[in-house]
Amino acid sequence: MGSAGRQVAADWGENGMAGWTADLSEQVALVTGASQGIGRAVALELARNGARVACVARSVDKLAQTVDAIRQAGGTAEAFACDVRDRDSVEKTVEGVVALWQRLDILVNNAGVTRDTLLPRMTDEEWDEVIQTNLRGAFLFARAVSRHMMRARYGRIINMTSVSGLIGNPGQTNYSASKAGLIGLTRSLSRELASRQITINAVAPGFIESDMTRALGPALLEEAKKRIPARRLGTPEDVAAAVLFLASPAAGYITGHVLVVDGGMTG
């Protein structure tokens, strides 16, 4: 591991969240939806392993805790406000990151929203907002960063999908469609860019501890745990560990893959 990676790993503790380290020193990562939950955990984990991290969300203020945590541990991070649905905003953000650090090696498309309701009640706005944020946003960022990665002949793009994109979920036709679309985007783009040493993979979390799952209430959470062979909910750190592997040099021959992180729920 490079000196930057060793320093950050030491500050976080040698075992860190994943229990192992990858040498991402000198690399630059961009993580969307980095203000909380899985996105925050991913940003912290990549920084712990030496990457300089561009933390992206709609509001810079919401990113303050993530950026401060990385800096206090000896890492390097900057906050970027961006509406992932807007092409100009996305391209400005990518150009800003490249201007700051002269490269962009890793993209984690994590930003996402839910607007759950049964299909007969779902409004056009609820459909459009989820598709625009979860799927169009990933497309816009992948397109923008791929230009830089193709010139560098290296890159890692990781799309945050969901088990809902694999098996569906009642009340989530918009969300499940967006996440299934991400899987199609991942597999198609992996075939386009593999010859340039750019890998495109997806991570599909199951039930993960979050504000959204806590809102289900204790009874529903207990029922959910019964469906999970591991008998527990996952943590954001569990997902971050999977992202770290796919972002690392060790995963250089893995592309077009969907890595499911669900405690065995989908088999």
* Active site residue ranges: 175
Gap between the Cα atoms of 119 and 81, Å rounded = 32
Tokens coding 113: 């929203």
Strand (E) or helix (H) holding 126: helix 124-131
Question: Beta-strand (E) ranges in 69-182?
Answer: 76-81, 106-109, 155-160
Tokens coding 215: 């809102």
Which long-range CB contacts under 8 A does 161-165 form with residues at least 24 apart? 161/186, 161/202, 161/203, 161/204, 161/258, 162/204, 162/205, 162/206, 163/204, 163/205, 163/206, 163/260, 163/262, 163/265, 163/266, 165/204
Tokens coding 3: 């000196």
